[in-house]
Structure 1
Amino acid sequence: MSKINIKQEEALSIKFSHLMGIGEQRRLDLYFFLPKEMGIGVNTLNEEEYYHSAIVGRRSYFSDGLHLPLVQSRFASLNRRTVEEFRLYLNLFAYQFAVAVETDGKALEQLTETASFYQALDELREQVSVLLRKFRRNEPGDPKWKSYFENADNYLSWFCEQRLLKLLAHAPRSSEFAEISDAVLQLCRAEHNYREEERRYNSVQTKQDPNRISNKMLLLRRLIQQGVVLKEELKPLGVGLKKFTTGLATGLVMLVVSALIIKAQGVFSGLTIALVLSLAVIYGFREIFKDDVRNALWRFIQRGRPRWSRILRDTNSQAVIARQLVWLEFMRPQKIPKAVAEILKQRHSQNKLDVEILHYGISTKVTQNEFQAGYSSMQEQVSFSLVPFARYLERGKAKIYKEVEGRISNESVERRYQINLIVMLREAKGEPQFARYKITMNRSAIVDISESDLPGHISAIDGSGDAK
């Protein structure tokens, strides 16, 4: 796996993922260059609101390969293994299995070519079938372990069936690939029969109520995440500094107001209507400009500082696994690193438009503590929704006309925008590495994500790619 992977996740979202081992330090910076014609900037997009509503992260343990085929051999001796250890290994496999199916399913949804879609669907069906068989061959006999296995088995069977049915429901219609569709349906029917008739995992009342079965599966999902997904403690930074800024801004405004009041008292002798009106105007202007002065002062002080800190803990031991600092801000072009500016100069002349620069940075320091047994690294996945960007875009209303043998026809065309994304990766005290992507989007979807070449003297991120 490359150091960082960036790919399209849904119609209007992108996701980056990377792995980190014990004791590693990494700084990752993403610079989104948004054309000003998109209408996105400080006045239209609040960074803090965007962070909480449109940036979703998931941090968990990760181990190369799917480990369940090894579970039986690893736990052959009951005297040397505990129930908790078995549960950790089981959860790791079940969680990675579910995430893999989820990721591959989203990638399939982006395929528009019928042949490619059905070929990928058939491959996914085969992989799901093989992994489920391997999973069930390692069912434990000890009652202490059996309940954990049954929870994971119930969820994986239901989840795989739901993902495959969803893909079929939105699949392009083609009688040419009816055999593949039938094979997928047979697997779904077999899983349904396995859960409901053979194993009787769910009660009649639960099966008959879609709400109950959905909520039960959400609970089972949380159970298999136990010990795998890290507990996050997010804390906003600069709370005290912000209070100080508010006080300072209020003091500066009051200083000006007090000077104006003294001046007005000197102009108007005694308490007159003119003096009262002047004071009303002065206090009115104070209310108008107070927030503007405070926000401008806070933005100046906050510039370049991290906005949040995050502690990642093991959900079982509560041990600290990693600490993170997070940045999110609009930047001035003069403040971006020189290497980033040089990469941006590679744009074609027609793409050299005025831009707003949105910077997302995350610095991670993984502790030296050993991970839970069976885990080799930590995986971080962060999704960025571009829906807040799209809401300001214009709908395509233009038409292209053409003439063929005296007949004039027209086609509607969509308005597209191109976002340049430059990624900067620095590990410990090493030299930074870079990657550049072009994101083409319209109001309803991301049309394409492609990786661009870098100048010869700029170091590229090792193995960067997967911009799909």
Structure 2
Amino acid sequence: MTKVNIKQEESLSIKFSHQLSVADQRTLDLYFYLPTEMGISADTLNEEEYYHANIIGRRSYFSDALHLPLVQSRFVSLNKRTLEEFRLYLNLFAYQFAVAIETDAKQVRQLTEPEEFYPALLELSERARQLLKKFRRNEPEQDKWQSYFGHADNYLSWFCEQQLLKTLSTRPRSAEFADIKDQVVQYCRKENHYRELERKYNSQRTREDANRISNKMLLLRRLIQQGVVLKEDLKVLGVGLKKFVTGLATGLVMIVVSALIIKAQGFFSGLTLSLIMALSVIYAFREIFKEDIRNAMWRLIQRGRPRWSRTLTDTSTKKPVARQLIWLEFLRPKDIPNAVSLIMKHRHRQNKVESEVLHYRIQSKVNTKEFAAGYTQFQEQVVFSLIPFARHLERGKAKIYSEQDGKVSNESVERRYQVNLVVALKDGKQSVEYARYKITMNRSSIVELTESRLPDELNAV
């Protein structure tokens, strides 16, 4: 699938990203097939809690010219641009640079073999060095623009150093690649010298206090996000409907309770201990079943409805950029689209196990008006944490035995599970595009994320 990129983010998380342009209308569906043996269902996983705690997204303006120095075509003549334009373009480059370095560093940290890790680390260090060099080559001469450039330069230098040091701290031990480690360390020292001695960006008091330097860099990151990261206003849908359902459930329960009370009063003469006991039992059952009835009615009414709406707003112009509707629910087999069911039927026989299907849908409608000056797209990146899934998994207890020269040895093996992910993308009135991924995971990490071939007869559906 060319329009949506899905990859592993951390040890137990995956990320999808895509770009949206002016007037785009896009619906993106993700179907997580969770094997029943994992023990994950609507009874054990609350969709609303999972959404707020384990689905994290960021949405920002995007330019595919990231690796050009300062999106060079926009900086041909700085003197002809306003201060606000300069700040917007500077922030766009700095933000995307930081995101790109962070993403590449995460990918390097996932490499466990020294032969793969160290060359990738050296390439990352060289890429950061080259981009910072090009960035500084376009330093403005005007004093009124210097402060904005200094903030971005200070943050990017510090952030690159931090990402490289963090990656070094997770390195596999190998004396063979000590020279690469030394090169990266020397580059980090050089950047530190540039910030603290050449440019004097941070005071000695700030440098010596980890809390101060961390908070200052957090503030600088927020400054470079200004005008680039879109403001998100999330609204829970169906609040009034839920109150109505609560009232209706309470009313239905009270009708039954009132009928039982009348029956009890007719059965027991006068106010007796038996009548009091009977009323106590009736009211106890009311409290027990009221919540169950309300939840059952609410799940029935809510099924298929969007749960949240999100409005994305430009932080500079204060104008809305896009509106999104979000669904998250466990699906019944009859609610799964035929095309998705067809894709899942073409698994290997040994992989055809009973599954619970967790469905996530995000429907985006971008405004027909133009974005802020110079922007043509915005990018959405959403990270799904699989940690709540991993909590339900069993630890590997089995052992594999082998014999050699009369000696018997054993090796513990881990329990692995395969989660299937089907992605469906529909742009406007175009036909739906599909992709299927296999996520092999255990309790501690995602072992493998691969894309699978789709059935040939899918086009006929």
In the other structure, the counterpart of 1:397 is 397
Q: Which residue of 1 aligns with 2:75?
A: 74
**Native 8 Å contact 2:78 2:86 kept in 1:** no
Deviations 1:236-263 (A, max 9, x none): 0000000000001001111111111122
- Corresponding residue for 2:259? 259
Aligned to 2:440: 440
Q: 1:123: which partner in 2?
A: 123
Aligned-partner SS, 1:42: coil
1:187-226 matches, cutoff 5 A: 187-226=187-226
1:173 to 1:388, Cα distance in 2 relative to 1, 3 A: same
Q: Distance in 2 between matches of 1:84 and 1:72?
A: 17
Structure 2 distance, partners of 1:121, 1:386, is 27
How far off its partner does 1:156 sit? 0.3
Map of 2:105 onto structure 1: 105
How far the C-alpha of 1:71 sits from its partner, in A, is: 5.0
Q: Give the 5 Å matches for 1:351-430.
A: 351-430=351-430
Residue equivalent to 2:340:
340
Q: How many residues align?
A: 459
Q: Deviations over 1:391-431 (max 9, x none)?
A: 11111121111112211100000111110100111111222
| Separation in 1, partners of 2:109, 2:457 | 38
Post-superposition shift, 1:440? 0.6
CA distance in 2, matches of 1:117, 1:77: 40
Q: Give the drift of 1:266.
A: 2.1
Cα deviation for residue 54 of structure 1 reads 0.3
Q: Is this contact kept in 2: 1:422–1:437, CA < 8 A? A: yes
In structure 1, the partner of 2:161 is 161
Q: CA deviation at 1:154?
A: 0.2
Structure 2 match to 1:464? none
The alpha carbon displacement at 1:2 in A equals 2.5
Is 1:149 aligned to residue 149 of structure 2? Answer: yes
Q: Structure 1 residues 168, 208: CA separation in 2 closer, same or farther (over 3 Å shift)?
A: same
Verify: 1:248 aligned to 2:251, yes or no: no
Q: Is the 8 A contact 2:22 2:366 kept in 1?
A: yes
Look up the equivalent residue of 1:76 and give its one-letter code. S
1:306 partner SS: coil
Amino acid at match of 2:206: T
Name whichever of 430-439 and 147-156 sits farther off. 430-439
- Distance (Å, rounded) in 1 between the aligned partners of 2:78 and 2:232: 35
| Aligned partners of 1:68 and 1:90 also within 8 Å | no
Is 2:17–2:380's contact at 8 Å kept on the other side of the alignment?
yes
Q: Secondary structure at the match of 1:430?
A: coil
TM-score, length basis structure 2: 0.97
Quote the residue 2:88 is aligned against.
Answer: 88
In structure 1, give the amino acid aligned to 2:402: K
- 1:269, CA displacement in angstroms? 2.4
Partner of 1:235: 235
Secondary structure in 2 matching 1:26: strand
In the TM superposition, residue 37 of structure 1 has moved relative to its aligned partner by 1.1
Tell me the distance in 1 between the aligned counterparts of 2:426 and 2:459. Answer: 11
Q: CA, structure 1 residues 73+443, in 2 after alignment: closer, same or farther (shift >3 Å)?
A: closer
CA contact (8 A) 2:400 2:413 kept: yes
Measured in 1, the distance between the counterparts of 2:234 and 2:167 equals 35
Q: Partner of 2:308 in structure 1? A: 308
**Residues 287-314 of structure 1: per-residue CA shift (max 9 Å, x gap):** 0111010001000000000000000000
Answer whether contact 2:34 2:355 (CA < 8 A) is retained. Answer: yes
Letter in 1 for 2:60: S
The residue matched to 1:10 in structure 2 has which SS?
A: coil
Against the structure 1 CA distance between its residues 231 and 278, is the aligned structure 2 distance closer, same or farther, given a 3 Å change threshold?
same
Q: Which runs of 5+ in 2 are unaligned?
A: none
- Report the Cα offset of residue 73 of structure 1: 6.6
Tell me the percent identity: 67
CA distance in 1, matches of 2:336, 2:78: 57
Q: Report SS of the residue matched to 2:22.
A: coil
Task: Give matches, 1:132-143, under 5 Å.
Answer: 132-143=132-143
8 Å CA contact retained: 2:70, 2:90? no
Please state whether the residue corresponding to 1:325 is helix, strand or coil.
Answer: strand
Measure the CA separation in 2 of the matches of 1:407 and 1:141. Answer: 76
Equivalents in 1 of 2:401, 2:134: separation in Å? Answer: 58
8 Å contact 2:94–2:224 — kept in the other structure? yes
Match of 1:465 in 2: none
Tell me if structure 1 keeps the 8 A contact 2:425–2:433.
yes
Judge conservation of contact 1:417–1:441 (CA < 8 Å) in 2.
yes
Ranges of 4+ aligned residues in structure 1 off by more than 6 Å: none
**Alpha-carbon distance in 2 for matches of 1:173, 1:209:** 30
- Shift of the alpha carbon at 1:182? 1.5
> 1:255 is paired with a residue of what secondary structure?
helix
- 1:75 Cα shift? 5.7
Q: Distance in 1 between matches of 2:458 and 2:149?
A: 50
Partner of 2:22: 22
- Displacement, 1:272? 2.0
Q: Is the 8 A contact 1:433 1:458 kept in 2?
A: no
Which letter does structure 1 place at the counterpart of 2:321?
Answer: I
Answer yes or no: is the 8 Å Cα contact 1:71–1:90 preserved in 2: no
Contact preservation (8 Å) 2:65, 2:71: no
Separation in 2, partners of 1:448, 1:72: 40
1:74-128 Cα offsets, whole Å, 9 max, x none, are 36253x3110100000000000100000000011111122111111111111111
RMSD: 1.4
Deviations 1:335-361 (A, max 9, x none): 110100111111222222211111110
Shift of 1:164: 0.6
Amino acid at match of 1:434: Y
CA distance in 1, matches of 2:70, 2:160: 19
CA distance in 2, matches of 1:15, 1:69: 27
Give the match for residue 40 of structure 1: 40
Distance 2:216 2:399 in 1: 50
The one-character-per-residue Cα deviations of 1:151-200 (angstroms, maximum 9, x if unpaired) are: 00000000000111111111111122122111111110110000001000
Gaps of 5+ in 1: 461-468
TM-score (norm 1): 0.96
Aligned partner of residue 235 in structure 2, secondary structure: strand
Q: Match of 1:74, as an amino acid?
A: F
